[in-house]
Structure 1
Amino acid sequence: MEYYDIGKVVNTHGIKGEVRVISSTTNPQERYFKGATLTWFGKDGESEELTVLTHRKHKNFDLVVFEGYDNVNYVEKFIGGTLRVSEDLLLELPDNEFYIHEVIGSKVIIEESGEEIGTIKEILSPGANDVWVVQRPNKKDLLLPYIESVILDVDIENQVVKVHIMEGLD
């Protein structure tokens, strides 16, 4: 079964078992609701299925408590691990939205010329806009901001992304 990242446990918070999560999901309220099932994956390949007891926002973090883990000593082992959901728990997305794993590996084509320039290797989220990393043969990776004037069309079904390379991007 495939699992998809929704957040990274970066620390504990207080003494009552809360963990600080930096979320990679855009829908934390639909992921961390009471009773939600998440799977924690540790650095050494270990994993554990967890059930959310409580969730709240605090600064840039999602604070989560899991059923059966009401003490800081029990949750310290989760630090550095990743929270994921199984593919059967993926949410239905609105039109023109997609999961990162659906975009990775897509061919990138320049809209104007039809030239294929590479494939999407990874998606970074450094700030205001995501940055799509295009792996190109015999060239440096191309970094494309995910903005309307650059990423023109994303065809998930055919794994094709049409782009406009603005002056200065390459």
Structure 2
Amino acid sequence: MTKDECFFLGKIVGKFSFKGEVLIKLDTDVPEMYLEMESVLIEYNENLVPFFIERSSLQKSTLLRVKFEDIETEEDAEDLVGALTYLPLTMLPELEDDQFYFHEIIGFDVIDATHGNIGKITSINDSTAQALFEIQKDEKQILIPMNDEFIDKIDKENNTIYLTTPEGLVELYIG
């Protein structure tokens, strides 16, 4: 399985006990959803390796305390600290029609209420204070904040997202 077929679950941030338990900082708003997992994929030596879970519990809301099979000592656990964890995309819960996962909308056409088709979404930049749609229009990149007030409709069937952007925002990029 490759990273393209997976979503980022979290990062192993520390050891928990001398019995090989680790803490995974989950990248989710709903950590309870991940209490019943049988396994996770851990990025190890540039490969995704399945690790099977003996038991898990939540610690302080978004920290998942995990005991993996065959990780028996503090030294074994130390070897995993800093590793990234993933799950197959098929394990993502279904969302409502007006909701989306970032990876789902890559390649969607963007129709602005004023300017019509302003390009295709090439990626989502979520490293800023507010996530941004990165849209490619010919040779230009357009950045639009992912603001619920701007999103009119998401048409997953036709791979199109409809926006009403503030006056002047699109003009910054396309003149």
SS in 1 for 2:33: helix
Mapped partners of 1:15, 1:131: distance in 2: 40
Q: What aligned pairs does 1:28-43 form with structure 2 within 5 A after superposition? A: 28-31=31-34, 33-42=35-44
Q: What aligned pairs does 1:89-168 form with structure 2 within 5 A after superposition? A: 89-124=91-126, 126-127=128-129, 129-139=130-140, 141-167=141-167
Mapped partners of 1:58, 1:125: distance in 2: 24
Mapped partners of 2:51, 2:36: distance in 1: 14
Q: Deviations over 1:43-62 (max 9, x none)?
A: 52242233262232437x42
Percent identity between the aligned chains? 21
Indicate the residue corresponding to 2:66 in structure 1.
65
1:15 and 2:17 aligned? yes
SS in 2 for 1:115: strand
Indicate the residue corresponding to 2:6 in structure 1.
3
1:80 and 2:82 aligned? yes
User: What is the number of equivalent residue pairs in this alignment?
Assistant: 164
SS in 1 for 2:63: strand
| Kept in 1: contact 2:125–2:134 (CA 8 A) | yes
Which amino acid is the alignment partner of residue 19 of structure 1?
L
Over aligned residue pairs, what C-alpha RMSD do you find?
Answer: 2.7
Which amino acid is the alignment partner of residue 77 of structure 1?
D
Mapped partners of 2:97, 2:77: distance in 1: 38
Question: Greater Rg, structure 1 or structure 2?
Answer: 2
Which amino acid is the alignment partner of residue 29 of structure 2?
T
Q: Deviations over 1:15-57 (max 9, x none)?
A: 3422242x333332112x1444322123522422332622324
User: Normalising to structure 2: TM-score of the pair?
Assistant: 0.74
Q: Deviations over 1:105-143 (max 9, x none)?
A: 21222123323333241241544x43322234322x333
| Kept in 1: contact 2:15–2:77 (CA 8 A) | no
Runs of 4 or more consecutive aligned structure 1 residues displaced over 6 Å after TM superposition: none
In structure 2, the CA distance between the partners of 1:151 and 1:72, relative to structure 1 (3 Å rule), is farther
Mapped partners of 1:43, 1:126: distance in 2: 29
